[in-house]
Amino acid sequence: MNVTKKFDRLKQWTNEKMGAEARTGLSDDFKALELEMNLRHEGMDKMQKSMTTYVKSLSKRAEGDDREKQLPGGHLGSSMVTHGEDFEPDSEFGNCLSSLGRANERLARVQETYVASATTSWLEGLERSLVQMKEYQAARKKLETRRLAYDTSLAKMQKSKKEDFRMEEELRAQKAKYEETSEDVFRRMQDIKESEVDLVQDLTSLLEAELSYYDRCREILLNVKREWPVRDTHTATRPVRSRSITAHGYADRFNPVEEEPEPEPPRITIPKLSSRSRSPAPDSTGGYPLRPSYSRTSTYDNGGREDSPARRLTRTVTDSSAISSSRNNLRPARPITT
């Protein structure tokens, strides 16, 4: 493309933006499909990113004690089995560790199978749809370029004052390219719309893989429960251990939504000063406040006192003549002078 054609197309684009030149329009069906493609691309892009994060979280491996990369569940199971072998063969705790540890190792293998199925079914289907979307967007940009070239040739033809065979040939060529690209874009949009059938099949495969995964996990855990070395009576008679009010369990920390909010303790407030306590009424006898009465606690101890009989009091009979003689011997009182 020479410089003259580039300049003519830039001039045509500028005039279209300013409203000085008309542009070739598209059909209503074409515009409706374009809006649909934008919605599909936005949704597919979000699902592909979220599915990639989901698969990575399930397939993330941790380094074990033997420097071998394995899933966290498998690492947990192997550590349980290793510690369970440290106990005696008849140890309930050791047998429980070994049983649950082997179950977690099997669960890790089932998880690997599920991740592979989810990747080959739904994730790859989303990626294929995004590839279709990218090809459609590239074709749509090409259509816009062809449309601008066609409108530029048409504007030059209309402004020409004399007939030019070369302009007519160029106009026919640009129109043919534009129509061909328009049909290609429309066909790509129809292909994307019809690919829903494949996406439904991929989504069904994901559903079946997910159901199989959780059913298999439940089956493994139920088998462990049936062969659990400890009887249920042990757990039924297990004493309840008191826990501190500031301690939080694992479920309490990681499931805050399911936990009911604890009621806030009542706020301690200072009561206001009553009118009776502000100015106590004085006593009518002395002008002083009444002395508060105190309750006395009984110190009598019924069990601490010995059971010895108390001395009985006896009354002594006195002679009346002796009392009369004593009264006569008293000195008479002197009168008080003031």
Domain regions of the chain by residue span:
3-14+21-232
Of 52, 75, 53, 71, residue with least CA distance to 61: 71
| Residue stretches of the chain with pLDDT short of 70 | 1-24, 64-67, 160-161, 232-261, 265-338
The pLDDT of residue 6: 57
Distance CA 158, CA 207 (A): 60
The pLDDT of residue 16: 55
Model pLDDT for residues 195-207, shown as the tens digit of each residue: 999 999 999 999 9
Distance CA 54, CA 83 (A): 32
Count of Cβ atoms closer than 10 Å to residue 196 Cβ: 12
Count of Cβ atoms closer than 10 Å to residue 239 Cβ: 5
The pLDDT of residue 158: 74
- Tokens coding 45: 């892009």
Give the chain's radius of gyration (CA, Å).
51
The pLDDT of residue 132: 95
Model pLDDT for residues 18-44, shown as the tens digit of each residue: 555 556 677 888 889 999 999 999 999
The pLDDT of residue 313: 52
3-state secondary structure 186-232: HHHHHHHHHCHHHHHHHHHHHHHHHHHHHHHHHHHHHHHHHCCCCCH
What is the dotted CATH code of the domain comprising 3-14+21-232?
A: 1.20.1270.60
Residues 6+ apart with CB under 8 A from 152: 5, 8, 9, 11, 12, 174
Q: What is the pTM of this model?
A: 0.60
